[in-house]
Amino acid sequence: MLYSKPVTEIIKQRSSRRSYRDQPLDADIQKQLMEFLVKNNVGPFTSSVRFSLVAAQPGDSDTLKGLGTYGFIKGARAFIVGAVKPSEKNLEDYGYLMERIVLFATDLGLGTCWLGGTFNKSNFSKKIEAAEDELVPAVSPVGYTADKRSVTERLVRWGAGSKMRLPWENLFFQENFNTPLPTEAAGAYAVPLEMVRIGPSASNKQPWRIVKEPGKPVFHFYLQRSKGYEQSGEKFHMADLQRLDMGIAMCHFELSAKEMGLHGTWELNPPVALSLPERTKYIASWQGEW
């Protein structure tokens, strides 16, 4: 088992934390995190990602120098940083693998916060000694959280509507994009789908759309870009954050399905006759065993 508790509980427990206690991570916690990072390095589309824990030791004020988060994160004493080479599905893989780490840290009782925009990319890249062709798409602070969320943090959460999620009928469909998937028709897969729905996404845009094949445990995952995010990557010199969101959705779906004994694999198997709404792109299909 990957975690000490059911993953559905960990997914429900996680929320973005932006205020931390000024306290270095215990040596034992650092060790557990590092062991997890090393093993967790190949995504479902086979990209390799190398992750590193950048952590200040007691009395050390140099390690985190320059690792700016533009005032969004307060007091963090450690960050998870990863680098990945270019490939067609590298960002989906990065999202998937980094979310497994986020859930591992949550299980250890630590706070995290995905940062895809508000971090100083060049300094974090230097820290992990990223090669010319490697990208650092997102990072996360990891640490002991402050008891209360700060005023800035509460404002950021309010601005992104962080507690809100779209209803099922906007996200999950049967056979085509015009027919919402009733919970009963999802059967036992209602749980993995709900775990996708409550997951984190950049600016809480929730771009995941899933179409189930009738009568079969086959789920096609699509990315429906939010307006203004059509070329977010190139336009803002940022990674394409909505592709990271898709990897996160795949992670939540797969881990919770497997935990329920629902086995399957990721395949590239887009339904040919399906007409797609605007700004919608196929990502992958979950081929469940039955």
Q: Which of 63, 204, 226, 280 binds ligand FMN (CB under 6 A)?
A: 204
Q: Which of 54, 108, 146, 160 binds ligand FMN (CB under 6 A)?
A: 160
Stretch 41-80: interaction string toward ligand FMN, x if CB under 6 A: -------------------------------x--------
C-alpha atoms less than 13 angstroms from C-alpha of 230 in its C-beta half-sphere = 4
CA-wise closest residue to 57 among 23, 81, 89, 29? 23
Contact between 90 and ligand FMN by CB under 6 A: the answer reads no
DSSP state, 262? -
Cβ distance 167 to 173 under 8 Å?
no
Whole-angstrom distance, CA of residue 277 vs CA of residue 251: 24
Only one of the segments 19-27, 41-49, 200-208, 251-259 lies at the binding site for ligand FMN (rule: CB under 6 A); that segment is: 200-208
Our finding on whether 203 is near ligand FMN (CB under 6 A) is yes
Closest separation between CB of residue 160 and ligand FMN, Å?
Answer: 4
Strand partners, 224: 280
Distance of closest approach, residue 241 Cβ to ligand FMN, in angstroms: 4
Spatial distance between the Cα atoms of 225 and 104, rounded to a whole number of angstroms: 28
Q: Could you tell me which stretch among 201-209, 225-233, 273-281, 282-290 binds ligand FMN (CB under 6 A)?
A: 201-209
Q: Which of 117, 180, 270, 271 binds ligand FMN (CB under 6 A)?
A: 117
Cβ closer to ligand FMN: 201 or 256?
201
Q: Write the burial class of residue 100 (CB in 10 Å: 0-12 exposed, 13-18 middle, 19+ buried).
A: buried
Measured from the CB atom, the residue of 242 and 287 that comes closer to ligand FMN is 242
Tokens at residue 186, please? 């999802």
Kindly indicate which of the ranges 55-63, 223-231, 242-250, 270-278 contains the residues binding ligand FMN, using the contact rule CB under 6 A: 242-250
Please report how many Cα atoms fall inside a 13 Å half-sphere around the Cα of residue 115, on the Cβ side: 27
Task: Please give the Cα distance from 51 to 99 (Å, whole number).
Answer: 12
Stretch that binds ligand FMN, among 100-108, 170-178, 199-207, 225-233 (CB under 6 A): 199-207
- Between 16 and 256, CB nearer to ligand FMN: 16
The residue within the footprint of ligand FMN, chosen from 43, 82, 141, 200 (CB under 6 A), is: 200
Residue selected from 29, 135, 211, 244 as contacting ligand FMN according to rule CB under 6 A: 244
Among the residue ranges 22-30, 112-120, 207-215, 275-283, the one whose residues contact ligand FMN (CB under 6 A): 112-120
**151-181: buried (b, 16+ CB within 10 Å) or exposed (e) per residue?**
eebeebbeebebeebeebeebbbbeebeeeb
**Residues within window 7-46 making contact with ligand FMN, judged by CB under 6 A:** 15-16
> What span, in angstroms and rounded, lies between the C-alpha atoms of 37 and 51?
6
| Pick from 191, 64, 205: nearest CA to 139 | 64
88: which 2 tokens? 């067609």
Which CB atom, from 99 or from 288, has the smaller least distance to ligand FMN?
A: 99
Q: Which amino acid is at 179?
A: T
Binding residues vs ligand FMN (CB under 6 A): 15-16, 72, 113-118, 138, 156, 160, 162, 200-204, 241, 244-245, 248
